[in-house]
Amino acid sequence: MLGGLVATAITSCHRTEPLPTVISEETYAGGELGTTFNRSHSAYEDPTPATEKAGLTTQFRYGEAFFERSYTQNNPPFNGLGPLYIRNSCIACHPGYGHGMRMNRYRADDWGNGYLLVFTDRNDTYLSSYTGMPQTKAVAPFKAPVDETKIQINWLSYVDEWGNQFPDGERYNLTYPEVYIPEDAFYVPLEVGGNPIPYGDFVCRLESTIGIYGTGLIDAIPDDSLKAQYQKEYNDGYMQNGLNPAMWAGSDWAPTGLYGNTTHPKKYTYALTRGPLQDAPGANAIWNITNVTHRTKMGHYMTAAYATKASQDPDVQAEFYNYFPQYNLTGNVETDIYNYLMMNDQIPESLKVPEMKDEDYVNFMVWHRGLAVPAARDLDDPDVQRGKELFKEMGCAYCHRPSWQTGDDNFTDPAGFFSDSDPRLPRYPHQKIWPYSDYIQHKLHMENDIRTGWCRTTPLWGRGLSAVCTGRSDRLHDCRAQTVIEAIMWHGNIQSDARRTVEKFRELPKKDRDAVVKFIDAI
């Protein structure tokens, strides 16, 4: 009798634990080949079934070390740090393998700081005298291009046209960062296109990392499928900001919509700067964040402006030969410093030894392609189902397109290190995946907006596990949103492509708003 009463009490107001035998296709967020059913703290760190089936698990674990470990200047196996660097490890920017964290200051060594500094003039043109991702660290005897101890991040309050309040009275906070860097923090002159700009024209903004899991699955989305999505959105004409003409020319790709000299479109980063994964953020970052060279990336991430400044700096000149005796090649220390930093053709081949071995780079890419997406959770929860229905009805699913079908996944490598469909890497053919993004840029017109205002729809998959996997759940490109509601309401500007959807969200009763949040956390 006791058991019966308990059963009745339970079903009336508690949800039931989902049964693992009832698995819909949506649960397989990364497809059968790309999903992990881990929902514990290591959920973002598992190898895909494809990786395991291909017998690549050991290589995956070896490659993982090159992501997690701190780099040193000369102590193997993780050697090669410097002369300038952004972070001394990859996980430093991708804490817990997830999204960067909201920070109150910028220090390369602060745990969780996933921010890249964005240095531009007032026209959104990147400074030419600084690397696209500015470095704040240097090894002796060099000086950092910018003194990070002088960088200030100020968090400001924003009140939207609705007073940060829903019609039923529930309130939300909106805050956003502004960055201030005093003129004396810059070691290298401020230049655009090689010409000096006045300090008053300098702008600095922040862009945070997002997670890395599932990037192999995205790489497997066929080019034609993405093209069809662009054409559809263009033809539909629903977006008040249209599509970015730098990506789409009306009935075909814009020349700058394709990656480098390839025929492949760009899919990765907020600014859509990268195409095939083998030459995308991770493959490049393993080199440019730490300045660890490997066979197809033997230069230094560097600017001529920095090299010039450093080579003419008497402090650097006084010590260079002590620290880098092997680069005493001409006897003219200014020339030797410049050539070393630029790693140009004045440096003999004998000194151009890759710091990262081929085998280690391969293992790293096995890991990178091989990271699994966590399965969606609790999809049979009625609140989650309600949230999903609303997500679609309101139009969120237009930009946050729920699913894609991968193709044959005959991946390519524009950098030429891997061959097409290289058997050393895992592949994801013919998978239905659920990233919740159209991989197209839109404009939200946020206060202190992202550079150019165009921002790729960030994939939503897996984000609900962020607190478990990383300790925090900050969202949006500069980590300004600390809750899902804040992230949604930052979509609400009157000129935003999501304006009408946000208006509908505001009209929902609280129970339905909470259901939408629960759904977003479940995928």
Partner 1 sequence: MKQFFKSAAIVAASILLTVSISSCNKTTETTDEANIETKNVIIKQYLNHTVYPTYGKLATNAETLVSDLETLKANKTQANLNKACATFLEARHWWEMSEAFLYGAASDFGIDPHIDTWPLDETEFNSLMSQLDLIALLEQDEDGSVAQEKLAPSLLGFHGLEYILFRNGEARPVSEITDDYMTFVVAVARDLRNHCFQLEVSWNANAPQAHKDLLEELEFNTTLANGNTYGENMTLAGQAGSTYSTRTQALQAILDGCIDIADEVGTSKIGKPHTGDDPTYVESPYSQKSIQDFTDNITSVQNAYMGGNEGERDEDLSVHHFIKNSNAELDAKVVGAINNAIDKIKNMKAPFVNNYLDVSAGEAMEACQELSDVLSEAKSALNDK
Per rule CB under 8 A, is residue 109 in the interface with partner 1?
A: yes
Contact positions with partner 1 (CB under 8 A) in 377-406 = 378
Q: Which of 25, 53, 111, 228 touches partner 1 (CB under 8 A)?
A: 111
Nearer to partner 1, 107 or 500 (CB): 107
Q: Which residue, 366, 371, 359, 422, is CA-closest to 60?
A: 366
H or E element that contains 207: strand 203-208
Per rule CB under 8 A, is residue 185 in the interface with partner 1?
A: no
Nearer to partner 1, 11 or 328 (CB): 11
Size of the site for partner 1 (CB under 8 A): 56
Per rule CB under 8 A, is residue 153 in the interface with partner 1?
A: no
Cα–Cα distance measured from residue 108 to residue 149, given in angstroms and rounded to the nearest whole number: 10
Nearer to partner 1, 55 or 237 (CB): 55
Q: Which residue, 86, 85, 91, 84, is CA-closest to 70?
A: 91
Pattern 29-68, binding to partner 1, x per CB under 8 A? ---------xxxxx---------------x--xx--x--x
Contact positions with partner 1 (CB under 8 A) in 272-331 = 323
Secondary structure string (H, E, C) spanning 411-469? CCCCCCCCCCCCCCCCCCCCCEECCCCCCCEEECCCCCCCCCCEEECCCCCCHHHHHHH
Contact positions with partner 1 (CB under 8 A) in 116-145 = 139-140
Pairing of strands 152-157, 175-180: antiparallel
Nearer to partner 1, 16 or 326 (CB): 16
Contact positions with partner 1 (CB under 8 A) in 79-108 = 81, 88-89, 91-92, 95-96, 107
- Work out how close the CB of 374 gets to partner 1 at its nearest, in angstroms, rounded to a whole number: 13
Nearer to partner 1, 235 or 328 (CB): 328
Cα–Cα distance measured from residue 55 to residue 318, given in angstroms and rounded to the nearest whole number: 53
Query: How is 12-76 classified by DSSP, letter by letter?
Result: HH-PPPPPTT---GGG-TTHHHHEE---STTTTSPBPHHHHHTT-HHHHHHHHHHHHSPPBSSST
Per rule CB under 8 A, is residue 6 in the interface with partner 1?
A: yes
Cα–Cα distance measured from residue 127 to residue 76, given in angstroms and rounded to the nearest whole number: 34
Largest CA distance in the chain: 94
Cα–Cα distance measured from residue 283 to residue 316, given in angstroms and rounded to the nearest whole number: 31
Residues contributing to the site for partner 1 (CB under 8 A): 2-3, 5-6, 9-10, 12-17, 19-20, 38-42, 58, 61-62, 65, 68-78, 81, 88-89, 91-92, 95-96, 107, 109, 111-112, 139-140, 323, 378, 467-468, 470-473, 482
